[in-house]
Amino acid sequence: MMKNILFAALGLGLAGTAAAHTVQPNTGFYLGADMTFHNGSPGRMSDDHSVTSRNNNSLFLGLKAGYQFTPGFALELGSAGMTQDIQGTTAGGRFEASRKTALLSLSGIYKFTGYVPGVYLKAGLTTGHTEVTYRNSNRTINASGNGTGYLLGFGYEYDFSKHWSAHAGYDRYQRMGGLDDNDSNAINLGFKYRF
């Protein structure tokens, strides 16, 4: 009997939370911004390179624009970027390497509106440009390339009103700029304004 009462109270509490949170957002266009912390994959170095310092973390302020077709589904165009720096030694002396990637992404976002309102899932394609610079005591090498990849993510969005919302989420980027070893785990915080 006591278990039934507890489960009933829990169920009513969840339903009340869902009802309290549910603000049906406007359909139509929106703009937003994200502050994203990227933790990139290390990248590959040849065996004769001994890495002494590596920074795979970077912050990026990205902009986005999208269209909200229904309260639960949107298509979104966004920007992302990441910088990585490596230092170390080889038989010929010290070296430094850096890799910078800039991306555009097109994602579909499904937002739950039932018992877990605000939780969303995200999947999309990316296209990007990567620049790599390698320096040692003898030479400097610059290389660049373009390519496609993909991203998967999830998060939570809170609607303050029909126009304003804030969110926090996790995205996994694969093959940034088309490079097999250029991946990133990204944590983002941001807001949206729906017209």
> Residue 179 carries which DSSP code?
-
65 Cα distance to chain centroid:
15
- Confidence bin at 48 (pLDDT 50/70/90): low
The upper half-sphere exposure of residue 10, i.e. CA atoms within 13 Å in the direction of its Cβ, equals 6
Is domain 2-194 annotated with CATH 3.40.50.1390? no
Does residue 162 or residue 25 have the better pLDDT?
A: 162
Residue-wise pLDDT for 118-127, tens only, equals: 999 999 999 9
Full-model pTM: 0.75
> What's the rounded mean pLDDT across residues 131-150?
84
Q: How many CB atoms lie within 10 A of CB 59?
A: 11
> What's the rounded mean pLDDT across residues 176-190?
82
Q: How many CB atoms lie within 10 A of CB 110?
A: 15
pLDDT exceeds 80 at position 8: no
Does residue 136 or residue 42 have the better pLDDT?
A: 136
pLDDT exceeds 70 at position 9: no
